[in-house]
Chain A
Amino acid sequence: MARVGIIGIGHGQFGRRSDATVQELAFEAYREAVQDAQIDPKDLDGSVIGSVPEYHKQRSLPGVVQEYLGLNPLPTWLTEVACASGSAAIRTAWMGIQSGAHKLMAVIGCQKMTELSTPEILALMGRVGEVQWESVFGTTFPAYYALFAKSHMHEYGTTREQLLQVAVKNHFYGARNPNALFRKEITMEKAMESEPVSDPLQVYDCCANADGAACVILASEEIAKKSSKPVVWLDGLGCATASMSVLRRPNLVGLPSAEQASHVAYEMAGVTAKDIKVAEVHDCFTIAEIMAYEDLGFCKKGEGGRFIEEKQSYLEGRTPVNIDGGLKSKGHPIGATGVSMTVEVVKQLRGEAGERQVPNADIGLTHNVGGIGQYCFVHVLRRD
């Protein structure tokens, strides 16, 4: 199979962006990616937008983004699978190029969330659970992950401290990422004192809603090989689903979709978990990162708590994870997140991550979860 390469990356400032519309956010990331790729935008032959439409007042987002980027009359469309919409956009562009229908595409993840109030967002996000039998009891997004956390703690003895150690790590690296929403380190004491959200999860266990955008330029093998930039190849793509309802999961200690998607991605790329030098995982909540260590095979099932306690996911550890601060510290503009993860892994594989650089990183991974694991996309990226 021919390969598809990433030849340009762009990342806007994440945060409460009351200064910009969603298309203006998209433009920031797009401009940076086009300049980074050193391409003429006229050579693009289409775009894919990853976003979750319910948060925007604007209907049919790809239209307004495409116009503002100056990409009419090129084709565009939206991919939506909750918080994994960005990775779905990347997969869709990969499919487009592999099919021969496209050769050079811009993938833009963008989201404006903070125009809604927190209870409105809680209500909207809670409805990513099953609305007929679950939302009627006032379930929230954190509540679902709290159910996972309680189960994991009960089953494997995972502790409150281990959960919050994920937050401490991600803030440590987020403090070193200029695009992050929270650019300061936190202490365990401060994390422990934070307000309860959904027991056992506290404020510091949860990522923050944010506005923001990220962009990658995907090229066919032929075009990528002529790129003046070091190419990062999209060599393994796995994607899987699990039941919408938490009531139909085999257990509440992991995400079966993540496990499945990683198997497919590893096999396609011809690698194993041990080969991954740097990973970006979907830490919408601290427990989610711990389950990701296990679902992705960075450690055995049940040992995720120990993995963070032993700092195995720090830059110096066995598998560095979320060295850009993760969702926790960067903020989580849901449609942009998967593309943001990809931008960071490309930076790491190019050796452009500065003080956050993982030495000798040649193979990286992104793990982007939609909702409570209804969807999961795992991508393996490689620099030759």
Chain B
Amino acid sequence: MFKWFGKVNFSPYTKVTDFADHLKDGRLMGSKCKKCGQESFPPRADCNNCLSGDFEFIEFSGKAKLLSYTVIHAAPTGFEDVVPYTIGVVDLKETGRLLAWIGDTIPDKDIKIGMDLQVVPQVFDELEEIKVYYSLEKPGTAWSKA
């Protein structure tokens, strides 16, 4: 259920709703158009190449390279309790990009544009409801529930 995705979720209903279920089980999924084969991340149900609406999820390795990052000090509503937090944008090994928090395995002083990172599925343990996300960690960091 896509409403599980993110600390604050703004779009609970989507055609790629199973993405969050996979993430909860430790898998990072992109999409592949069944007609023309175009792969995407973030996953998308409708192909902007051939206009087909027929897609499947494919598992991504999570291997990534840092394109840019920032430490957020002034937070929007719903994120005040976690400041400061660092977000990074990465190029994924397979295709596409992803934006996520840079996790605890990377000290702030070690963050460098161009560094290798691993996208790791995560669950907010302290929350009662199911909340999943992914973070950017040191290469080799495994999914904690594995």
Pick from A122, A126, A132, A137 the residue with the most CB of B within 10 Å.
A137
Q: By the criterion CB–CB under 8 Å, are A246 and B99 in contact? A: yes
CB distance from B105 to the nearest CB of A (A): 17
B7 touches A136 (CB 8 A): yes
Across the interface, do B42 and A137 meet the contact criterion of CB distance under 8 Å?
A: no
Could you say which residues of chain A place their CB within 8 Å of the CB of B97? 246-248
**In contact, A132 and B42 (Cβ under 8 angstroms):** yes
Q: Mark B63-77, 1 if CB is under 8 A from A, else 0.
A: 000011111111111
B79 touches A (CB below 8 Å): yes
Whether A138 sits at the interface, judged by CB under 8 Å, is yes
Q: Mark B103-146, 1 if CB is under 8 A from A, else 0.
A: 00000000001000000000000000000010000000000000
Minimal Cβ-Cβ distance residue in B for A197: B74
Residue of A whose beta carbon sits closest to that of B70: A146
- B87 engages A151 (CB within 8 Å): no
B101 contact set on A, CB distance < 8 A:
137
Whole-angstrom CA separation of A109 from B134 in the bound complex: 41
Number of interface residues of B (CB under 8 A): 36
Q: Which residue in chain B gives the minimum CB-CB distance to A136?
A: B6
Q: Which residues in window 133-155 of A have CB below 8 A to B?
A: 133-140, 142-143, 146-151, 154
Whether A271 sits at the interface, judged by CB under 8 Å, is: no
Is B54 part of the contact surface with A, judged by Cβ < 8 Å?
no
User: How many residue pairs, one in A and one in B, have C-beta atoms under 8 Å apart?
Assistant: 112
For residue B14, which residues in chain A have a CB less than 8 angstroms away from its CB?
Answer: 132
**Are A196's CB and B100's CB within 8 A?**
no
Contact B73 A123, beta carbon cutoff 8 Å: no
Q: Is the CB of A123 within 8 A of B74?
A: no
Task: Say yes or no: A138 contacts B73, CB within 8 Å.
Answer: no
Closest residue to B16 on the A side, CB-wise? A132
A137 to chain B, nearest CB (A): 5
- Contact indicator B68/A147 (Cβ below 8 Å): yes
Contacts A143-B87, A154-B113, A246-B99: A122 and B74 contacting too (C-beta < 8 A)? yes
In the complex, which residues of chain B have a beta carbon less than 8 angstroms from the beta carbon of A247? 42, 89, 96-99
User: Is B5 interfacial (CB-CB < 8 Å)?
Assistant: yes
How many A residues, CB 8 Å from partner? 38
> In the assembly, what is the distance between CA of A248 and CA of B97, in Å?
7
Query: With the chains together, A331 CA to B70 CA distance in Å?
Result: 24
Interface residues of B in 79-101 (CB under 8 A from A): 79-80, 82, 84-85, 87, 89, 96-101
B71 to chain A, nearest CB (A): 4
Cβ of B8 within 8 Å of any chain A Cβ, yes or no, is yes
CB of A267 within 8 A of chain B?
no
Q: Given the complex, which residues of B lie within 8 Å of A140, measured CB to CB? A: 72, 74-76
Q: Which residue of A lies closest to B8 (CB)?
A: A136
B11 part of interface (Cβ distance < 8 Å): yes
Residue B9, interface by CB 8 Å: yes
A246–B100 CA distance with the chains assembled, in angstroms: 12
Q: How far is the CA of A252 from the CA of B88 in the complex (A)?
A: 12
Contact between B89 and A197, CB atoms less than 8 A apart: no
- With A137-B101, A143-B72, A149-B70 known, 16 other A-B pairs at CB within 8 A are A119-B75, A119-B80, A122-B74, A122-B76, A132-B14, A135-B8, A135-B10, A136-B5, A137-B6, A137-B133, A142-B74, A143-B70, A146-B70, A146-B72, A147-B70, A147-B87
Question: Residues of B at under 8 Å CB distance from A?
Answer: 5-11, 14, 42, 67-80, 82, 84-85, 87, 89, 96-101, 113, 133
Residues of A at the B interface (CB closer than 8 Å) are 118-120, 122-123, 126-127, 131-140, 142-143, 146-151, 154, 195-201, 245-248, 252
- Between-chain CB contacts (< 8 Å), 8 pairs: A126-B76, A135-B8, A136-B7, A140-B75, A142-B74, A149-B70, A198-B70, A200-B70
